[in-house]
Structure 1
Amino acid sequence: MNNIMKLEALLRVGATLLLLTAALLVRFDTQTSLIFTSFSRTASFKDLKALYVLVFIDIAVAGYNLVQLVLRFLLSSHLKQDIKKGSYYKHLAWLSFLFDQAVVYLVFATHTASLTASLFAVTGEHHLFWMKLCNKFNRFCTQIGGAILCGYVAFLLMAIVTFLSAYGLLRHYSPKRFLLLK
């Protein structure tokens, strides 16, 4: 069990660092470009509402992972002593599993919405008269793409954490008790 807790902690740290990297890349990414001879335009994360939401969701999920790391560290010493008191840890395992599931889906949805909105900046939409913005703001679009990639890698790490969380939950249930066999 100790190796599983170490793996979970390592995955949570990796996901937290990637989420913070994505949030910082999006938040501090600005580029000013000269559109006409006297008109300049600055692109920032506030131009797309999906990127604005992405910053806050990534920071919140990184904070959640840090809280989970602290709780795991504090409970690891008690886990060895109070392993017989399964009901308390069973409730914590349920909460951890449910929150991990919600957070993984939230990160995936947020980054997918940001990717979809960003694709309009790359390709434009002729029928709606939206021009391609990435022709004028190359560096901005590249950094946003890198941030979205970091977010998807963090999503994959957190999906693995969810599998470990499910294992931590299901180990509290005996197959004999579950099937009512004696």
Structure 2
Amino acid sequence: MRASRMELGLSEISVFLRLSAILFLVLTACLVGLDAQSKRIFYTERRATFKDLDALIVLVYVVSAAACYNLLHLCKRSISTWFEGYSKWDLCLSWVCLLVDQVAAYITFGANSAALQSSLFAVTGEEDFQWMKLCNRYTRFCIQIGAGLLSGFVASLLMAILSSFSAFYLFRHYSAKRFLFLK
């Protein structure tokens, strides 16, 4: 079964989007995971790291797993081009790819949103809980976390677009003539 020009073009765009998503996911993991700033406050050395907020720890793990999944998907795609042809396994694999793409996009977006919400407490503080503002003391730390969250949201958007590409690759296997018994 030969692929049309449109499918080849979409395949190239899909590979580019996956590579871009991997880049932004790794950038997010590095910006958030390697961020730390030390400051001397009243004769004690205080260090702010991503481990101070549980949502940032979860974010680092989630984006790392999503980057690994996208890398594995690219490897699967490059191997599957060697074995061209339509089979039942191709259809099953398309369903699995669609479901995992959607799960990865939703979980990445959710982890980024939770990290953003908890990071806002570092910016604004919370007087009811007696939490002080951290970003007025650890400015570089907060700017780097903000850049990491921004790249995480860009990666989430790219993964949502990739999920629609996976849906296209899945539903191209189905034909209305075949399932509606039209001739």
Common topology (TM > 0.5): yes
2:158 and 2:24 map into 1 onto residues whose CA distance is 10
Match of 1:77, SS?
coil
Which residue pairs with 1:74 in the alignment? Answer: 79
Percent identity, aligned pairs only, is 46
Match of 2:180 in 1: 179
Asked if 1:128 corresponds to 2:134, the answer is: no
Alignment TM-score, normalising by the size of structure 1? 0.94
Distance in structure 1 (CA, Å) of the matches to 2:181 and 2:122 = 58
How many residues align structurally?
177
Q: Find the aligned partners of 1:55 and 1:9 in 2 and give their Cα distance.
A: 24
Distance 1:179 1:40 in 2: 72
Q: TM-score, length-normalised on structure 2? A: 0.93
What are the residue-to-residue correspondences of 1:128-167 with 2, within 5 Å?
128-167=129-168
Alignment match, 1:102: 103
Deviation at 1:181, TM superposition (A): 3.2
3-state DSSP of counterpart to 1:32:
strand
1:27 corresponds to which residue?
Answer: 33
1:15 aligns with 21
Amino acid at match of 1:72: R
Corresponding position: 1:63 with 2:68: yes
**Alpha-carbon distance, 1:76 to partner:** 1.4
Of 42, 48, 61 in structure 1, the residue corresponding to residue 53 of structure 2 is 48
Taking the TM superposition and a 5 Å limit, the aligned residue runs for 1:77-96 are: 77-79=82-84, 82-83=85-86, 85=87, 87-96=88-97
Structure 1 position 35, deviation (Å): 2.1
Q: Which amino acid counterpart does residue 60 of structure 2 have in structure 1?
A: V
RMSD: 1.0
Equivalent-residue separation in structure 1 for 2:146 and 2:179 (angstroms): 47
Q: Distance in 1 between matches of 2:39 and 2:179?
A: 64
How far apart are residue 180 of structure 1 and its match? 4.0
Cα displacement (A) at 1:34: 2.0
Unaligned runs of 5+ in 2: 1-6
Equivalent position amino acid for 1:142 in 2? I
* Unpaired stretches in structure 1, ≥5 consecutive residues: none
